[in-house]
Copies of this chain bind each other. A is one copy, B any other.
Amino acid sequence: MTINIIGLGLIGGSLGLALRKTGQVTRLIGSDKNPQHAARALELGLVDEIMETEKAIQVSDLIATCVPVNSLSRLLPQLLEQIKDNQTIIDVGSTKGPVVDAIAGHPMRSRFVATHPMAGTEYSGPDAAVDGLFEGKGCVFCDTQDSAPDALETVQQLFHAMGMRLTEMESHNHDLHVAYVSHISHIASFALALTVLEKEKAEERIFELAGGGFSSTVRLAKSSPDTWIPIFEQNRDNVLDVLDEFINTVSRFRTLLIKRDFDTFSELIGKANDIRRIIK
């Protein structure tokens, strides 16, 4: 199988490494509008060769778009114009609603498979590519009834071979749930970093006092705005919904501290501890 990866950053690059390991890829072509990223990805061995998107898609069985979600809504309709019905396109974005809406009713819609591998790190660019990033992680397939069975099967079989747990979800429902779990985590972490940087003008103190706990909670605050602003733009309403709940919860802690109601505070921590049942 010949695969073209468009966008050779953290996800695209890691996908190259993972796909090669499945043993099912005979040719791995990378494309990136940033020539430095393309050259670096080739140097790191994330793909076998670099080609312009226009040419690469002509020779590829599978085209994996790994670009920010705002670019994707523009790119995807163009790609669908250029492929034949024995080719398949996937995305790997964190929001799905605006993407599938952008191609709804397109004659080639069924050649697109919407995937969201629940994997990533706080870094970006080809140097951030990680071998084994997807192993043991979940992957959500959205609106599978809108994809051709052969296209869906090809992709699910590949992702299964990459060691992922496959699940399915309706795309707008997916966006709601990722806001609830993933997107709010990023906002909490960005806010924590800004708060600590604001309060601790003497940055040396942060270094001295940062245990593993702070590092872990603030890790996502290193994430790039280039990735996350398009996600917050596309998923604004769902993010606002969960953000209100988050603000209410933090404000409740504030009220309990003001009232010195440590019994209720303790109960809330006990409830928060329930996350242990889900996240080991």
Q: Which residues of A contact B (CB under 8 A)?
A: 118-122, 137-138, 140, 165, 167, 177-178, 180-182, 184-200, 203, 205-225, 228-229, 232-233, 236, 239-247, 249-251, 253-254, 257-258, 260, 262, 265-266, 268-279
Q: Which residues of B contact A245 (CB under 8 A)?
A: 195, 198-199
* B246 pairs with A250, CB closer than 8 A: yes
Q: Which residues of B contact A185 (CB under 8 A)?
A: 192, 213-214, 217-218
Q: Which residues of B contact A122 (CB under 8 A)?
A: 213
Option from B210, B219, B228, B246 in Cβ contact (under 8 Å) with A181: B210
Q: How many copies does the complex hold?
A: 2
For A192, the closest partner residue in chain B by CB is B188
Q: Which residues of B contact A216 (CB under 8 A)?
A: 216-217, 219-220
Docked complex Cα distance between A198 and B266 (Å): 17
Docked complex Cα distance between A177 and B202 (Å): 10
Docked complex Cα distance between A138 and B232 (Å): 36
Closest Cβ–Cβ distance, residue A143 to chain B (whole Å): 16
Docked complex Cα distance between A153 and B233 (Å): 56
Q: Which residues of B contact A121 (CB under 8 A)?
A: 212
Given contacts A167-B208, A232-B257, 4 further A-B contacts (CB under 8 A): A122-B213, A181-B209, A184-B192, A197-B275
Closest Cβ–Cβ distance, residue A117 to chain B (whole Å): 9
Q: Can you give 17 contacting A-B residue pairs, CB < 8 Å? A: A121-B212, A138-B210, A181-B205, A182-B211, A188-B188, A188-B189, A188-B217, A190-B269, A191-B253, A191-B272, A194-B271, A197-B272, A206-B278, A225-B270, A229-B269, A240-B257, A243-B254
Across the A-B interface, the 7 shortest Cβ-Cβ residue pairs: A225-B269, A193-B272, A118-B211, A193-B275, A185-B217, A225-B266, A190-B272
* B232 pairs with A262, CB closer than 8 A: yes
Option from B197, B241, B250 in Cβ contact (under 8 Å) with A191: B250
Docked complex Cα distance between A177 and B180 (Å): 31
* B253 pairs with A187, CB closer than 8 A: yes
* B195 pairs with A242, CB closer than 8 A: yes
Q: Which residues of B contact A232 (CB under 8 A)?
A: 257, 262, 265
Docked complex Cα distance between A184 and B228 (Å): 24
For A248, the closest partner residue in chain B by CB is B195
* A253 pairs with B243, CB closer than 8 A: yes
Q: Which residues of B contact A277 (CB under 8 A)?
A: 203
Option from B189, B200, B268 in Cβ contact (under 8 Å) with A194: B268
Closest Cβ–Cβ distance, residue A118 to chain B (whole Å): 4
Closest Cβ–Cβ distance, residue A9 to chain B (whole Å): 16
* A242 pairs with B272, CB closer than 8 A: no
* A196 pairs with B221, CB closer than 8 A: no
